[in-house]
Structure formats: structure tokens, C-alpha cells
Amino acid sequence: MSKFSKKRGKATPAISTASLPDIIFMLLFFFMVVTVLRDSSLMVKVNTPQASELTKLEEKSLVNYLYIGRPKETYEDQYGTSPRLQLGDKFSTVDDIPLFLEKHKIKVPENKRARITSSLKVDGDVTMGIVQDIKTQLRKSNQLKVNYSAKPKND
């Protein structure tokens, strides 16, 4: 009896840290998988409006992004202040959309092509004129699945 109590009282065993690297690696892998490195830097100001009826975009590889907004300050001298369209990493016009869609399409496996969605990231202060032109062009290119990007409403 006394033998046991003596031992316990003397020293608390140190916690083994051998599994610590494993835990950290697990976290590391989680963040590595979740991380999306942005491939295009924004040249237009895009502040999407708020909405409540949102649906989530499922597969990232099936989504192409169209940014619409006014050029950032650094590009104002060159491109003015009226709303512009950005495809990939350069300013574009409505006529560039079919080629842009086609370039994205060939990267997608054929059986998934029907599910390609265009995500329109449009600034809230833009007028509908340019958005309408882009919608018309999307319809002409037969890209009918569109997602108006919006922030969730917090109320």
C-alpha cells in the first residue's frame, strides 16, 4: 500500500510530446488542402452587395469568374472610371467573353461541362448597362448557369 502512494507523490510523469508533430502535421494538411492561392489579382473595385437567398457554389473547377467594377485608382488614368469587365487578369470587352468561356471549357471533363457556372462578381455601385450586355453575351454563348455573387446578410 505504502509503496504505491510513495511513488505517486514523488514526481508527476511528464506529458509525452512525441505525438505533437503528428497533430501539427494534421492541421498543416488541413490548411494546405483548404488554401486557394488566388491566380488573378483584381484590377477593378468589386464590393458585392448583400443578399439573403444564397446558394453555395459547389465545385471550384466548374466555375469561371467575371469581375465587373470600376477600375482601381492605379488604373484610372489608363482606363477611366466607367465600369469595366475583367476576365482572368486583364481588362476585357464583352466580345472577349466567348473565347474566355471556351478556354475554361476545354479544361473541364466533357461529362461535367453542362454544370459549368459563371460567377458574376459585380460591384454594387455599377449600373445595369454593362451587366445587361454581359448577360446578353452569356446567353448568346449558351452559358446559362449564372451566379450573382453576393455577401450573406447578417441580420
Partner 1 sequence: MGKKSSKDRLTNEINAGSMADIAFLLLIFFLVTTTIVQDKGITVKLPPWSDVEVDATKLKTRNVFSVLVNAQNQLLVRDEPANIEQLKDRAKEFIMNPRGQADLAEKPTKAIISLKNDRGTNYKTYLQVYNELKAAYNELWEEEAQRKYGTAYSDNMPREQKKAIKGKIPFVLSEAEPTAFGDEK
Binding site for partner 1 (CB under 8 A): 17, 20-21, 24-25, 27-28, 31-32, 34-38, 48-49, 51-57, 60, 63, 82, 117, 119-120, 122-129, 131-132, 135-136, 138-140, 142, 144-152
**Bridge partners for 71 per DSSP:** 44
Pair 72, 44: CB distance under 8 Å: yes
Nearest residue (CB) to partner 1, 41 versus 55: 55
CB of 11 to partner 1, least distance (A): 22
Burial zone of 146 (CB within 10 Å; 0-12 exposed, 13-18 middle, 19+ buried): middle
Nearest partner of 97 among 75, 145, 65, judged by Cα: 65
- Residue 2 or residue 19: which is nearer to partner 1 going by CB? 19
* 143 backbone φψ class: left, alpha, beta (φ>0; ψ -120 to 50): beta
* Cα–Cα distance, 8 to 150 (Å, whole number): 61
The candidate with the shortest Cα–Cα distance to 87, out of 134, 149, 49, is: 134
Choice between 92 and 119, CB closer to partner 1: 119
- Residue 113 CB, nearest approach to partner 1 (Å): 16
Name residue, grid cell 481588362.
Answer: 91
Q: Which is nearer to partner 1, 57 or 99 (CB)?
A: 57
C-alpha cell recorded at residue 121? 462578381
CB of 109 to partner 1, least distance (A): 21
CB of 111 to partner 1, least distance (A): 20
- In the bound state with partner 1, the residue whose beta carbon lies nearer, of 1 and 18, is 18
Nearest approach, Cβ of residue 110 and partner 1 (Å):
21
